[in-house]
A and B are shown apart, each in its own frame.
Chain A
Amino acid sequence: GENVEQHPSTLSVQEGDSAVIKCTYSDSASNYFPWYKQELGKGPQLIIDIRSNVGEKKDQRIAVTLNKTAKHFSLHITETQPEDSAVYFCAASSPLTGGGNKLTFGTGTQLKVEL
Protein backbone atom coordinates (compact mmCIF):
# COMPACT_ATOMS: atom_id res chain seq x y z
CA GLY A 1 0.00 0.00 0.00
CA GLU A 2 0.88 3.66 -0.05
CA ASN A 3 3.45 5.04 2.38
CA VAL A 4 3.92 8.76 2.96
CA GLU A 5 6.91 10.17 4.81
CA GLN A 6 6.93 13.75 6.05
CA HIS A 7 9.82 15.93 7.27
CA PRO A 8 10.58 17.70 9.48
CA SER A 9 8.44 16.69 12.45
CA THR A 10 8.92 20.12 14.05
CA LEU A 11 9.83 23.43 12.44
CA SER A 12 10.42 26.75 14.15
CA VAL A 13 10.77 29.95 12.09
CA GLN A 14 10.83 33.66 12.75
CA GLU A 15 7.83 35.70 11.71
CA GLY A 16 8.25 36.80 8.10
CA ASP A 17 10.54 33.92 7.16
CA SER A 18 9.59 31.08 4.82
CA ALA A 19 8.75 27.54 5.88
CA VAL A 20 9.12 24.40 3.78
CA ILE A 21 7.69 20.97 4.57
CA LYS A 22 8.57 17.97 2.44
CA CYS A 23 6.81 14.68 1.77
CA THR A 24 7.59 11.58 -0.25
CA TYR A 25 5.17 8.88 -1.39
CA SER A 26 5.64 5.34 -2.65
CA ASP A 27 2.64 4.46 -4.83
CA SER A 28 2.95 5.70 -8.41
CA ALA A 29 -0.86 5.33 -8.75
CA SER A 30 -1.41 8.20 -6.30
CA ASN A 31 -2.79 11.13 -8.26
CA TYR A 32 -3.91 13.78 -5.78
CA PHE A 33 -1.96 15.43 -2.98
CA PRO A 34 -3.75 17.63 -0.43
CA TRP A 35 -2.24 19.53 2.48
CA TYR A 36 -4.16 19.99 5.71
CA LYS A 37 -3.68 22.37 8.61
CA GLN A 38 -4.80 21.24 12.04
CA GLU A 39 -5.21 23.62 14.95
CA LEU A 40 -5.45 22.45 18.54
CA GLY A 41 -8.76 20.74 19.25
CA LYS A 42 -9.94 20.95 15.66
CA GLY A 43 -10.15 18.67 12.67
CA PRO A 44 -7.79 18.98 9.69
CA GLN A 45 -8.66 21.79 7.30
CA LEU A 46 -7.64 21.70 3.63
CA ILE A 47 -5.31 24.57 2.75
CA ILE A 48 -4.12 23.62 -0.73
CA ASP A 49 -4.03 20.61 -3.02
CA ILE A 50 -2.44 19.55 -6.28
CA ARG A 51 -3.22 16.93 -8.89
CA SER A 52 -0.65 14.75 -10.59
CA ASN A 53 -0.94 16.54 -13.94
CA VAL A 54 0.29 19.82 -12.41
CA GLY A 55 3.79 20.64 -11.18
CA GLU A 56 3.07 23.68 -9.01
CA LYS A 57 0.12 25.51 -7.52
CA LYS A 58 0.04 28.76 -5.59
CA ASP A 59 -2.57 30.43 -3.41
CA GLN A 60 -1.42 33.75 -1.93
CA ARG A 61 1.35 32.90 0.60
CA ILE A 62 1.04 29.14 0.15
CA ALA A 63 2.44 27.05 -2.68
CA VAL A 64 2.80 23.34 -3.36
CA THR A 65 5.22 21.69 -5.76
CA LEU A 66 5.07 18.13 -7.07
CA ASN A 67 7.81 16.02 -8.65
CA LYS A 68 6.13 12.87 -9.94
CA THR A 69 9.35 11.28 -11.12
CA ALA A 70 10.96 11.54 -7.72
CA LYS A 71 7.64 10.96 -5.92
CA HIS A 72 7.93 13.96 -3.66
CA PHE A 73 5.91 17.08 -2.99
CA SER A 74 6.47 20.11 -0.81
CA LEU A 75 4.52 22.85 0.94
CA HIS A 76 5.97 26.36 0.92
CA ILE A 77 4.67 29.11 3.18
CA THR A 78 6.11 32.58 2.64
CA GLU A 79 5.98 35.60 4.96
CA THR A 80 4.95 33.42 7.88
CA GLN A 81 2.65 34.86 10.54
CA PRO A 82 1.90 33.71 14.11
CA GLU A 83 -1.50 32.40 12.96
CA ASP A 84 0.34 29.95 10.68
CA SER A 85 1.42 28.06 13.82
CA ALA A 86 -0.29 24.65 13.67
CA VAL A 87 0.29 21.03 12.68
CA TYR A 88 0.48 20.47 8.92
CA PHE A 89 -0.23 17.12 7.27
CA CYS A 90 0.51 16.03 3.75
CA ALA A 91 -1.46 13.22 2.15
CA ALA A 92 -1.47 11.14 -1.01
CA SER A 93 -4.68 9.90 -2.60
CA SER A 94 -5.06 6.63 -4.41
CA PRO A 95 -8.15 4.83 -5.73
CA LEU A 96 -9.99 2.36 -3.51
CA THR A 97 -11.26 -0.97 -4.87
CA GLY A 98 -14.68 -0.25 -3.37
CA GLY A 99 -14.88 3.15 -5.04
CA GLY A 100 -13.84 6.59 -3.93
CA ASN A 101 -10.31 7.42 -2.88
CA LYS A 102 -8.08 6.69 0.08
CA LEU A 103 -5.92 9.33 1.73
CA THR A 104 -2.66 8.16 3.27
CA PHE A 105 -1.32 10.80 5.64
CA GLY A 106 2.16 11.80 6.66
CA THR A 107 2.93 11.96 10.37
CA GLY A 108 2.62 15.74 10.58
CA THR A 109 4.84 18.80 11.07
CA GLN A 110 4.41 21.06 14.08
CA LEU A 111 5.12 24.57 12.75
CA LYS A 112 5.83 27.32 15.25
CA VAL A 113 6.15 30.91 14.06
CA GLU A 114 7.98 33.00 16.62
CA LEU A 115 7.66 36.75 17.00
Chain B
Amino acid sequence: NAGVTQTPKFQVLKTGQSMTLQCAQDMNHNSMYWYRQDPGMGLRLIYYSASEGTTDKGEVPNGYNVSRLNKREFSLRLESAAPSQTSVYFCASRGDLQPQHFGDGTRLSIL
Protein backbone atom coordinates (compact mmCIF):
# COMPACT_ATOMS: atom_id res chain seq x y z
CA ASN B 1 0.00 0.00 0.00
CA ALA B 2 2.65 2.51 -1.09
CA GLY B 3 0.48 5.49 -2.12
CA VAL B 4 2.77 8.22 -3.51
CA THR B 5 6.47 7.35 -3.74
CA GLN B 6 9.17 9.97 -4.30
CA THR B 7 12.82 9.38 -5.15
CA PRO B 8 15.38 10.35 -4.10
CA LYS B 9 14.66 11.34 -0.48
CA PHE B 10 17.73 13.59 -0.24
CA GLN B 11 19.97 15.21 -2.84
CA VAL B 12 22.79 17.75 -2.86
CA LEU B 13 23.62 19.51 -6.13
CA LYS B 14 26.07 22.13 -7.27
CA THR B 15 24.81 25.28 -8.96
CA GLY B 16 24.24 24.61 -12.65
CA GLN B 17 23.79 20.85 -12.35
CA SER B 18 20.61 19.20 -13.57
CA MET B 19 18.50 16.48 -12.02
CA THR B 20 15.10 14.84 -12.19
CA LEU B 21 12.88 14.17 -9.21
CA GLN B 22 10.72 11.09 -9.64
CA CYS B 23 7.17 10.52 -8.41
CA ALA B 24 4.93 7.48 -8.81
CA GLN B 25 1.46 6.71 -7.45
CA ASP B 26 -0.33 3.38 -7.29
CA MET B 27 -3.86 4.65 -6.63
CA ASN B 28 -4.91 5.04 -10.28
CA HIS B 29 -5.36 8.79 -9.78
CA ASN B 30 -5.84 11.07 -12.76
CA SER B 31 -4.32 14.25 -11.32
CA MET B 32 -0.77 14.73 -10.10
CA TYR B 33 1.00 17.77 -8.64
CA TRP B 34 4.43 19.09 -7.70
CA TYR B 35 4.85 21.52 -4.78
CA ARG B 36 7.78 23.12 -3.06
CA GLN B 37 7.81 23.87 0.65
CA ASP B 38 9.93 26.67 2.07
CA PRO B 39 10.07 27.84 5.70
CA GLY B 40 7.22 30.20 6.56
CA MET B 41 5.63 29.94 3.10
CA GLY B 42 3.53 26.81 3.17
CA LEU B 43 3.37 24.69 0.02
CA ARG B 44 3.38 26.35 -3.40
CA LEU B 45 2.27 24.67 -6.60
CA ILE B 46 4.98 24.35 -9.28
CA TYR B 47 3.26 22.29 -11.99
CA TYR B 48 0.30 19.99 -12.22
CA SER B 49 -1.12 17.36 -14.54
CA ALA B 50 -4.90 17.06 -14.55
CA SER B 51 -4.77 13.87 -16.58
CA GLU B 52 -2.33 11.69 -18.49
CA GLY B 53 -0.92 13.65 -21.43
CA THR B 54 -1.53 17.14 -20.01
CA THR B 55 0.62 19.44 -17.89
CA ASP B 56 0.15 23.06 -16.78
CA LYS B 57 2.03 25.70 -14.86
CA GLY B 58 1.23 26.43 -11.27
CA GLU B 59 2.20 29.35 -9.07
CA VAL B 60 6.02 29.08 -9.27
CA PRO B 61 7.03 27.24 -12.50
CA ASN B 62 10.16 29.18 -13.47
CA GLY B 63 13.29 27.00 -13.59
CA TYR B 64 11.37 23.73 -13.73
CA ASN B 65 9.97 21.34 -16.32
CA VAL B 66 7.72 18.33 -15.88
CA SER B 67 6.82 15.15 -17.71
CA ARG B 68 3.71 13.04 -17.19
CA LEU B 69 5.31 9.81 -18.35
CA ASN B 70 2.15 7.72 -17.92
CA LYS B 71 -0.79 7.66 -15.53
CA ARG B 72 1.41 6.54 -12.62
CA GLU B 73 4.48 8.73 -13.02
CA PHE B 74 5.07 12.48 -12.95
CA SER B 75 8.65 13.78 -12.92
CA LEU B 76 10.08 17.22 -12.13
CA ARG B 77 13.28 18.38 -13.80
CA LEU B 78 15.68 21.13 -12.82
CA GLU B 79 17.73 21.92 -15.94
CA SER B 80 20.24 24.26 -14.29
CA ALA B 81 19.92 24.23 -10.51
CA ALA B 82 20.15 27.50 -8.58
CA PRO B 83 20.55 28.06 -4.80
CA SER B 84 17.03 29.57 -4.74
CA GLN B 85 15.71 26.12 -5.63
CA THR B 86 16.91 24.67 -2.33
CA SER B 87 13.68 23.38 -0.84
CA VAL B 88 11.63 20.36 0.06
CA TYR B 89 9.67 19.08 -2.93
CA PHE B 90 6.40 17.21 -2.55
CA CYS B 91 4.48 15.25 -5.13
CA ALA B 92 0.75 14.65 -4.69
CA SER B 93 -1.95 12.79 -6.55
CA ARG B 94 -5.72 13.02 -6.54
CA GLY B 95 -8.59 10.91 -7.78
CA ASP B 96 -11.90 12.40 -8.90
CA LEU B 97 -13.78 13.99 -5.99
CA GLN B 98 -11.02 12.89 -3.62
CA PRO B 99 -8.44 14.80 -1.54
CA GLN B 100 -4.82 15.13 -2.54
CA HIS B 101 -2.44 12.49 -1.18
CA PHE B 102 1.17 13.49 -0.64
CA GLY B 103 4.49 11.67 -0.76
CA ASP B 104 7.14 12.13 1.93
CA GLY B 105 9.16 14.61 -0.07
CA THR B 106 12.61 15.11 -1.59
CA ARG B 107 14.97 17.35 0.36
CA LEU B 108 17.11 19.19 -2.16
CA SER B 109 20.10 21.38 -1.35
CA ILE B 110 21.88 23.39 -4.02
CA LEU B 111 25.31 24.75 -3.18
A9 to B48, CA, bound (A): 28
Minimum CB–CB distance from A110 to chain B (whole Å) comes to: 11
Q: Are A96 and B50 in contact (CB under 8 A)?
A: yes
Residues of chain B within 8 A of A44, CB atoms compared: 43, 90, 102
Determine whether the beta carbon of B31 is less than 8 Å from that of A107: no
**Contact of B56 with A98 in the complex, beta carbons under 8 Å:** yes
Q: Total A-B pairs in contact (CB under 8 Å)?
A: 64
User: Interface size on B (CB < 8 Å)?
Assistant: 27
Tell me the smallest distance from the CB of A12 to a CB of chain B, in Å.
18
Q: Which residue of A lies closest to B91 (CB)?
A: A43
Contact with B along A22-49 (1 / 0, CB 8 A): 0000000000001010000111111001
Chain A residue contacts of B56, Cβ below 8 A? 96-98
B58 surroundings in chain A (CB, below 8 A): 102
Knowing A49-B99, A100-B48, A105-B42, the reply to whether A42 touches B54 (Cβ < 8 A) is no
Given A44-B102, A98-B56, A102-B58, CB of A107 within 8 Å of CB of B45: no
| A73 close to B (CB within 8 Å) | no
Cα A101 to Cα B32 in complex, Å, equals 10
- Tell me which residues from 57 to 91 in chain B have a Cβ below 8 Å from any Cβ of chain A: 58-59, 90
Interface centre among A9, A43, A44, by most B CB within 10 Å? A43
Q: Is the CB of B48 within 8 A of A96?
A: yes
**Of all chain A residues, which has the CB nearest B3?**
A43
Interface residues of A (CB under 8 A from B): 1, 4, 6, 9, 34, 36, 41-46, 49, 89, 96-108
A–B Cβ pairs within 8 angstroms, 21 of them: A4-B42, A6-B42, A9-B40, A34-B99, A42-B104, A42-B105, A43-B103, A89-B43, A96-B48, A98-B48, A98-B50, A98-B54, A98-B56, A99-B54, A100-B31, A102-B48, A103-B45, A104-B45, A105-B42, A105-B44, A108-B42
